[in-house]
Amino acid sequence: MASTTASTSENVAFPGAISGSVFTEKMTFLSDYPTIATYRVMDSEGAVLVPGSEPQISKDQSLKMYKTMVSLNQMDLILYDAQRQGRISFYMTHHGEEATLLGTAAALKNDDVFFGQYREAGFMMYRGFSIQQCMHQCYGNENDLGKGRQMPIHYGSKEFNIQTISSPLGPQIPQAAGAAYALKRSGKDACVICFFGDGAASEGDFHAGLNIAATTESPVIFFCRNNGYAISTPSHEQYRGDGIASRGHGYGMHTIRVDGNDVLAVYNATQEARRIAVEEHKPVLIEALTYRVGHHSTSDDSSAYRPKAEVSDWMKKDSPINRFRKYLETKGWWSEEEEQALRKACRTEILGAFSAAEKVKKPAVSNLFTDVYDEMPWNLVEQKEKLDKLMKKYPTHFDLAAHAPEKK
């Protein structure tokens, strides 16, 4: 790394300079920087590398984390096939990224506010968002908390402090900064966690959000899940710097890079990040390096931009689920018999929830006009009346049998 040698000890007094900046008479353009290391606890075989570095997680909590990972994996398999059969319109799997979700969820508290991107169902499931609710949302039926107004996988829950997912890329980042500032002003012992991908880190909202959080010293954890691809754009075509973690220094932010396939490393990093955010009132940037095994979504065919052998190799050499399973087996907390029983039970539960959601009617048509205003304004009242007349006049064109009746 190139260095600047100061011939005097005179400090730079300009208001834009940070404390400790000094003058130099040597002109040097910095171009080489030390590469940020990637923190891990386990190797790819689930063995703890440094004795005592593993988090103090109970057997019950560890098994809850693992069972949620497996349940998420099974739900992905079923809903991906369901979309291919035309039974739901869209889906995104989490294959290969499960550790980033369960490591964070287990390290946080339920009072901590969640802002997601779109690949975080495992986090929500750990908090208590049920598989049945996932199914209702993906079908957009009458029991969907969002009343069928969002496309599939755009979950949300007031009960579990889960802000509803939005389709545009990146708006949750400045929103999370604002929510964290509100938490700071309230004096509440809580923080915000905000998930996004390496692609979203190329959006302007990323820079605005991090700078807002840094200058307001707000308790927020920015969690970047760097899976190597922004849909079809590989990371080497997105940036030339040292990933996403290197940007944290530019915003004066505590930063760490972790092995995103190591659930224990993610847990440790998130736990400490929460302490910094809540106790020191400072934002934290975590970059989790991982690999997206599945397609970006059901609208994507990743074989068009990466070889299938690359994907299969990753599945064989470093599955976060298999790594955590080996860790549990080493501790004597898990067995092959329990594994088979779990997978069978998960599949039965998911298929049952899927079947139940499929039979529920769509939301009432009147939901087109509600929940924007406390009292419906005159123009929406007129529009609703016109639609009601049209549906009554042309019943064959407006089949309401699939919709729930309007609630009076």
Catalytic residue flag (residue 40): no
How many whole angstroms separate alpha carbon 333 and alpha carbon 62?
Answer: 9
Catalytic residue flag (residue 291): no
Options 95, 257, 292, 295, the catalytic residue: 292
How many whole angstroms separate alpha carbon 148 and alpha carbon 137?
Answer: 7
3-state secondary structure of 170: coil
How many whole angstroms separate alpha carbon 137 and alpha carbon 156?
Answer: 9
Identity of the residue numbered 263: V
Options 95, 274, 296, 403, the catalytic residue: 296
Options 33, 149, 275, 305, the catalytic residue: 305
Q: Could you count the other beta carbons within 10 Å of the beta carbon of residue 373? A: 9
How many whole angstroms separate alpha carbon 264 and alpha carbon 241?
Answer: 27
Q: How many CA atoms lie within 13 A of 201 on its CB side?
A: 30
How many whole angstroms separate alpha carbon 404 and alpha carbon 162?
Answer: 26
The values of phi and psi at residue 225, to 5°, are -95, 95
Catalytic residue flag (residue 306): no
Q: Which of 229, 167, 162, 220 is nearest to 201 (CA)?
A: 229
Angle at 245 between CA 240 and CA 251, to 5 degrees: 100
Identity of the residue numbered 272: E
Q: Enumerate the active-site residues.
A: 292, 296, 305
